[in-house]
Amino acid sequence: MDVASSATAAASVLTGARSMASGRGPSCLEANDWICGEYLRTRSQELVDATVQHVGITVVSVLIGLLVAFPLALLARRRRGAAGPVLGLTTVLYTVPSLAMFALLTPVFGVSPAVVVTGLVMYSLTILVRNILAGLEAVPAEVREAARGMGYGSARLLFEVELPLALPALVAGLRIATVSTVAMTTIGSVVGYGGLGNLIASGMEGFFKAEVLTASVLCVLLALVADLLLMGLQRLLTPWTRGRARAGGRLRRTAGAAKAVG
């Protein structure tokens, strides 16, 4: 015991002497600075692992959300009676605070990533269902008629005409859902699967400022990168919207006027 403590004391004296010798003062890890390059260097593996987990949880959640939201939106469009309950239920789910949602799902799935993913899927549904529905409903009736007249069946009409036209609204929803999912994944740290949120939680317990700030900044950066990637994806998928952007204002105004007359 004595030997160990005297050894650490000696070590700290040594590091102190060394830092004094090099004229840099105590290292930023010892000083518990908010910004610390040494932290980035020594814990890079930890940061990479957390980021990978964060991205994984987000991507899986949003993809499952999209897969669930699409049939729900189609159902809500097909049957007027289903639209109210579907939108109402997703809104109720959205109102439940995330901590409570994860807590309620814990007895169902045990302490596992499934808790976090399921909760995040439920949140993404609200935005995705609404935006897909809005996009599909915005397809002009004439376009639909023309396609039908050309002999398009309902499946081909959906996937080749309606879905491409609904894509801008869908991607707008996807971007919002993704950005909020990235932010909300951090709360998964209550069950130990929060990606960068785990680092924020452990940094809080250890009063480790650099860890908390680095993880927080990375989290915001992740959200921004995801948003930009999805924006780029939309540009690629809907090249026809690019040329129209300038003429769009005029078109829209004429459409509004027509509606007011009709």
| Binding footprint of other proteins on the chain (CB under 8 A) | 87, 92, 95-101, 103-104, 106-107, 127, 130-131, 134-135, 137-138, 168-169, 171-173, 175-176, 179-180, 182-184, 186-187, 189-191, 197, 200-201, 203-204, 207, 209, 212-213, 215-216, 219-220, 223-224, 227, 231, 234-235, 241, 245, 248, 252, 255-256, 259-260
Q: For the CB of residue 22, give the shortest distance to other proteins in the complex, in Å.
A: 28
Q: For the CB of residue 224, give the shortest distance to other proteins in the complex, in Å.
A: 6
Q: What is the distance between the alpha carbons of residues 58 and 65, in angstroms, rounded to a whole number?
A: 10
Q: For the CB of residue 105, give the shortest distance to other proteins in the complex, in Å.
A: 9
**Residue at 47: amino acid letter:** L
Q: What is the distance between the alpha carbons of residues 50 and 29, in angstroms, rounded to a whole number?
A: 20
Judged by CB, which is closer to other proteins: 80, or 151?
80
Q: For the CB of residue 21, give the shortest distance to other proteins in the complex, in Å.
A: 31
Q: For the CB of residue 194, give the shortest distance to other proteins in the complex, in Å.
A: 8
- Residue 113: name the closest of 59, 72, 67 by CA: 59
Judged by CB, which is closer to other proteins: 117, or 135?
135
Q: For the CB of residue 241, give the shortest distance to other proteins in the complex, in Å.
A: 6
Judged by CB, which is closer to other proteins: 19, or 70?
70
- Which ranges constitute the DSSP H helices of the chain? 2-22, 28-31, 37-42, 44-78, 80-95, 98-109, 113-137, 141-149, 154-156, 163-185, 196-205, 209-237, 240-261
Judged by CB, which is closer to other proteins: 21, or 260?
260
Judged by CB, which is closer to other proteins: 5, or 95?
95
How big is the chain, counted in residues? 262
- Residue 183: name the closest of 57, 91, 69, 67 by CA: 57
Contact assessment for residue 52 and residue 179, using Cβ atoms and an 8 Å cutoff: no
Judged by CB, which is closer to other proteins: 9, or 111?
111
Q: What is the distance between the alpha carbons of residues 104 and 191, in angstroms, rounded to a whole number?
A: 12
Please give the span between the terminal C-alpha atoms of the chain, in angstroms, as a whole number: 90
